[in-house]
Structure formats: structure tokens, C-alpha cells
Chain A
Amino acid sequence: MLCRDFREIADSYLSDELLIETNHDVISHLESCADCRREMAARRELREKLRSAFVHAPELQVRAEFSDRLMAKLSEVALGQERTGVTSLSGRSSANRRRNLWLAIAACLLVAAGVSLIVVRQKAPSRPQVAATEQHQPETKPAGKDPLGANGLREVGPRLPVNIARLELAKFAVGDHRNCAIEFRLHEKPLPLEEAGRRFDPVYINLAKAVLSGRDGLPTEAELVEAHSCVFEGRRFGHLVFKSHGRIVSLLVTDLQGKETNAGAPPQSGASQDQITACSQLDGYQVSCFETAYHAVFVVSDLPQNENLAFARTVAPSVLAHLSRTEGI
């Protein structure tokens, strides 16, 4: 090895990026060349000085109060106490301030809408109570009119998500619909439903078949174009993609990861657990959802709200029957 060659690769040698054979050549050369040994020592010293300069430079040191606040913030996020966005710790980002302002306005509107809803319901006591949070309470069935939908399902009009967790899960469903069905940019290759059923969740097996062969079949003009299992942000879905009125509609089934939570109480069955909730709009998509003891089902599309809800109502009986069978309820 010539000195000129050595000087070209000396830094890669220090970074341990050379092949073993080349390392041996470098070492052999260093043993015989005092100039290159000096050059190597100088480069090593420069690198150490650079590291040391970085570690000691006052303008590159993290402030203790900042790291404390960041830890508190991270802890909050980890515990799920803050899911609505990121606020600025330094308080100097105008973009963050604007975002916070919009969040505050949105929160006020949500509270106002919630209060209005309560007032409206209190003024109309004869209407069946359908809020998801009240599903354990006995309900009276008004004479002459079935409070349940045409498919024996409860339905509610557009309203706010009953809790933040439901909203979080709906966001995953919308994200999967967008990433998988609309933009085709999944990070993981989708699996056939049968394989995903064997590996992850048996409810995926025969999911498509159950929907297609259900009593009510599919909504008019809807056709199944894809069936698989995919993952969005770490959450796995059984994903049926339909085309309806020229629009893409996703039916997404995911487990609730809450079996332990439900262990203390018997799983619910029958109509009392089967509700369809229009979760209003999320990221520009309509979301309708219904659930069993262990699974949540979302219908996501950019159809008008009533059509999205109608789609969910049509497929819900066969999906629920399939899930209940597989869950052993």
C-alpha cells in the first residue's frame, strides 16, 4: 500500500468501515511508515477533539428544564393522556400556537355540540336512548315502532364519538383505508385473510365469504374488489375493499385488544351490543362502526354520510353473525 492510498482510506479505517483484508493492509503499512503513523494519530486526535468540542459546546447543551418538561410530555403521551396534538415546550413556535388555538376552538365546539345533544334528548324522552354508553340500561320498546333498524340493529344519527379511545381506533381505520385502499402505500405486504386468520385472528377466515353470502348480501351496485389483512401503524385489520357507486369503501375488522378487560364480565350478546354509530367525519372520510365483545368493525368511505351508514347497516348482520360465531359467543 502506498502512502497516498493510505491517506485516502485512513478515515474509513478509523470508522471501522473497511473490509478485514484492507484493514490488514492498513496495519501492515502503518508498521512500516512513520509518517502515516503520525497522520493516523493526528486524524484520531482530530476526531476525538471534534467529539469533545460537541460535548462541551455551551450552545449544544440541552437545558435541564427542557429535558424535564420533555420527559413529562412523553410520559403523558405514553399514558395516552394527551392525544389531541403536540404543544410547543419552548412556546416559541407560532405554528404550534396556531394549532393549539384551533384545537381549543374545536374542543369548544365539541363541548357545545355535546351539550346541545343532551338538551335535545332531554326534551324528547319518548325517543329510544341509543347512546353507546347506556347499552347496559334496560330500554323500553315503544309500541308500534321498532326502535332498532330494519336489520335489528340499533342506529344513531351523526354524533360525536362517545370516547377518545373509539376515536383513536377510528383514526387507525381511516388511516388504513387511505394508505391501503386509496394510496397503495402500505409498509407491510398484506396477507391473504386465510393466512392472517391462522396466524393472528381466526375471525379473518371466511370473512369475505360471510359478507358475500349473508342474508342481506351487499348493497346495490357494491362489489368486492379486494380482501386481505393489512397493518396500519401496528394495528392489524381484516380488510374488505368494495366499490360502490364508483367509490372505494373499506370494511375493516380489528380486535380490541381488550379481552382481559372484559374477562370480569360476561361477553354481551344479542342486539344490545350491536350498534351502528356514525362517527361523523374523520380526515374527510365517513366512518360508521359497530362492534362485538372482542372486535370492532368500521366502514370507511367518501360516500355521503347516509350512504356510508346504509352500507354499514346492510353488511352488519352477516359480519356480526360471522364474528359472534368465531368468537364463540
Chain B
Amino acid sequence: MRLMFALHKKEVDERWTAFEAEAVPLMNDLFRVAAWLVGDRATAEDLMQETFIQALQSFHRFESGTNCRAWLVTIMYHMNSKRLRTGAKLRLVSDTDERIAETVAFTAPTPQGLSETEVLRALKSLPRQYQEVVVLADVEDMAYREIADALAIPVGTVMSRLSRGRKLLRAELASYANTFGIGKQGEERLRSTSEKQGGKSDAVS
């Protein structure tokens, strides 16, 4: 009988079943990260496909019981880096940590009552390196250690970026709230403005 070189069918079936149970349900979550990461649907779909095929082929390395979402995100970042290298799209990004640290010297109170659109808009306004850690930590609920592994940076860097990113986000939202009269500070500001203009306080209420 002809010798078999392929993986045994049973093994393949088991791997596929496990993959279906662990990884496939995370497809929507991963796509959101991919779409946010690359900013383009077609590229995000290509990245998703490459990520999931790579994940399937490497699924024997996944340790059952660990965070499959973090594992997939790590693969996705790896595939995206590879894609960027291939496309020679690498660009130097100056580290703005110091500048940001100076800019966000105080902790802005967190405004409330903002819409989802406003929150997303504020997030998009952050420098890229802060966006990604905030998304992975606060949206995807990944631990600092998992984010460090996915981005291939030290945990300390994750923590400092998160701290600054969150401060920036709050500052951006506070600024937005003040400008458009959302929240307590905005109300006070608009009230004083309208009083100066002749008591048109109806607009505030």
C-alpha cells in the first residue's frame, strides 16, 4: 500500500474542530481590529484571510485554555508587519512620547454624555501608537502582557503608552465637550458666553 505522507485525517479533523470552536467565533472581533489597524476594508479582508490561514496552519502551537483572541491578534500584527515590509511602506515615525507627556501634563476629568461617534472620532485623533494600545486594552480586553507580546514591545512601554493614550483621549473628549457644550464644563462655558452676549441662556438649556 502506498505510503502516506500527509497528516492523518483524524488529526486534521480534530485540529479543524478545535479551530472552529476557538478561533472562528472571534472572526468579527478580529476584523474590527484589522479594519481599525489598516483603515481599509479590502486590505483588512486580505489581512484577515492571511491571519486566519496562518492561525489554522499553526494551530498546533496554540495552547488550549489561553487567550485565543490575543494569540490571533499577535498573528495579525505579525502578518501586518510582514505586509508592510513587503510593500515597502515602512515609514519612520518619530517617538512623540516626550511631546505628548508635556502636552498632557494634567489629568483631564472624564466627560460624560458623549456619543459613540464622538468617542471614535476622538480615538482616531490620537497618534497611532496610542490608538492601538487603547483599542487592544480597552476594547479587546487584552492584558498588558498580551499586548506587549502582540506588538513586540516591553510591558513597561505598553503601560506608558496606555497611560498617555487614555489621558490624551480624555483630553480630546473634554475639549470636544467644552467646545460643543456637552458636560458640566461645557455648560459653564456656554453659560458665561451667552451671559456676555446678552442673556441668551435658552440655547444652553
Q: Is the CB of B8 within 8 A of A78?
A: no
In Å, the complex CA distance between A56 and B119 comes to 12
Among A49, A66, A293, which residue has its beta carbon within 8 angstroms of that of B119?
Answer: A49
Q: Do A62 and B11 contact each other (CB < 8 Å), given the known contacts A70-B48, A96-B46?
A: no
Whether, in the assembled complex, A284 has its beta carbon less than 8 Å from a beta carbon of chain B, the answer is: no
Q: Do A70 and B8 contact each other (CB < 8 Å), given the known contacts A54-B139, A59-B35, A265-B1?
A: no
Q: Do A71 and B24 contact each other (CB < 8 Å), given the known contacts A49-B114, A291-B3?
A: yes
Query: Distance in Å from the Cβ of B3 to the closest Cβ of chain A?
Result: 6
Q: Is the CB of B5 within 8 A of A256?
A: yes
Q: Is the CB of B31 within 8 A of A234?
A: no
Whether, in the assembled complex, B69 has its beta carbon less than 8 Å from a beta carbon of chain A, the answer is: no
Mask: chain B, 129-163; 1 = CB below 8 Å from A; 0 = not: 00000110111000110000000000000010011
Whether, in the assembled complex, A126 has its beta carbon less than 8 Å from a beta carbon of chain B, the answer is: no
Q: Is the CB of B52 within 8 A of A74?
A: yes
Chain B residues within 8 Å of A1, by CB: none
User: Which residue of chain A has its CB nearest to the CB of B1?
Assistant: A265
Q: Do A77 and B53 contact each other (CB < 8 Å), given the known contacts A46-B110, A71-B24?
A: yes
Whether, in the assembled complex, A260 has its beta carbon less than 8 Å from a beta carbon of chain B, the answer is: yes
Mask: chain B, 1-22; 1 = CB below 8 Å from A; 0 = not: 1111111101110011001000
Q: Is the CB of A165 within 8 A of B4?
A: yes
Q: Is the CB of B56 within 8 A of A11?
A: no
Q: Is the CB of B27 within 8 A of A62?
A: yes
Q: Do A74 and B120 contact each other (CB < 8 Å), given the known contacts A47-B138, A90-B46, A92-B46?
A: no
User: Restricting to A110-135, which residues have a CB under 8 Å from any CB of B?
Assistant: 133
Chain B residues within 8 Å of A4, by CB: 107
Whether, in the assembled complex, A296 has its beta carbon less than 8 Å from a beta carbon of chain B, the answer is: yes
Whether, in the assembled complex, B111 has its beta carbon less than 8 Å from a beta carbon of chain A, the answer is: yes
Q: Is the CB of A45 within 8 A of B46?
A: no
Whether, in the assembled complex, B28 has its beta carbon less than 8 Å from a beta carbon of chain A, the answer is: yes
Among A41, A168, A291, which residue has its beta carbon within 8 angstroms of that of B6?
Answer: A168
Tally of contact residues, B, Cβ under 8 A: 63
Q: Is the CB of A258 within 8 A of B8?
A: yes
Q: Is the CB of B1 within 8 A of A51?
A: no
Tally of contact residues, A, Cβ under 8 A: 66
Whether, in the assembled complex, A95 has its beta carbon less than 8 Å from a beta carbon of chain B, the answer is: yes
Query: Distance in Å from the Cβ of A74 to the closest Cβ of chain B?
Result: 6
Query: Distance in Å from the Cβ of A326 to the closest Cβ of chain B?
Result: 17
Q: Is the CB of B35 within 8 A of A168?
A: no
In Å, the complex CA distance between A70 and B41 comes to 14
- The secondary structure that dominates the A interface is helix
Q: Do A11 and B19 contact each other (CB < 8 Å), given the known contacts A71-B24, A73-B53?
A: no
User: Restricting to A125-169, which residues have a CB under 8 Å from any CB of B?
Assistant: 133, 163, 165-166, 168-169
Among B6, B16, B116, B166, which residue has its beta carbon within 8 angstroms of that of A75?
Answer: B16
The winner among B11, B107, B114 for most chain A CB atoms within 10 A is B107
Whether, in the assembled complex, B49 has its beta carbon less than 8 Å from a beta carbon of chain A, the answer is: yes
Q: Is the CB of A8 within 8 A of B107?
A: yes
Query: Distance in Å from the Cβ of A276 to the closest Cβ of chain B?
Result: 14
Whether, in the assembled complex, B128 has its beta carbon less than 8 Å from a beta carbon of chain A, the answer is: no
Q: Is the CB of B137 within 8 A of A15?
A: yes
Chain B residues within 8 Å of A41, by CB: 112
Chain A residues within 8 Å of B42, by CB: 90, 92-93
Whether, in the assembled complex, A50 has its beta carbon less than 8 Å from a beta carbon of chain B, the answer is: yes
The winner among B46, B117, B162 for most chain A CB atoms within 10 A is B46
Query: Distance in Å from the Cβ of A4 to the closest Cβ of chain B?
Result: 8
Whether, in the assembled complex, A7 has its beta carbon less than 8 Å from a beta carbon of chain B, the answer is: yes
Among A8, A52, A262, A296, which residue has its beta carbon within 8 angstroms of that of B163?
Answer: A8
Chain A residues within 8 Å of B28, by CB: 61-62, 67
Q: Is the CB of A78 within 8 A of B12?
A: yes
Q: Is the CB of A11 within 8 A of B162?
A: yes
Q: Do A168 and B1 contact each other (CB < 8 Å), given the known contacts A42-B109, A59-B41?
A: no
In Å, the complex CA distance between A45 and B43 comes to 32
Q: Do A168 and B5 contact each other (CB < 8 Å), given the known contacts A11-B163, A89-B49?
A: yes
Chain A residues within 8 Å of B50, by CB: 86
Q: Is the CB of A42 within 8 A of B112?
A: yes
In Å, the complex CA distance between A101 and B159 comes to 45
Q: Do A77 and B11 contact each other (CB < 8 Å), given the known contacts A46-B173, A50-B119?
A: no
Chain B residues within 8 Å of A20, by CB: none
| Additional A-B contacts beyond A70-B49, A80-B6, A89-B45 (4; CB < 8 A) | A42-B109, A51-B138, A74-B52, A90-B45
Q: List 13 A-B contacts (CB under 8 A).
A: A39-B109, A53-B120, A54-B32, A54-B135, A57-B116, A60-B36, A71-B24, A74-B56, A75-B16, A78-B19, A165-B4, A264-B1, A293-B3
For the complex of A and B, 9 pairs with smallest distance between CB atoms: A258-B4, A53-B116, A165-B5, A265-B1, A42-B110, A62-B31, A78-B16, A165-B6, A92-B42
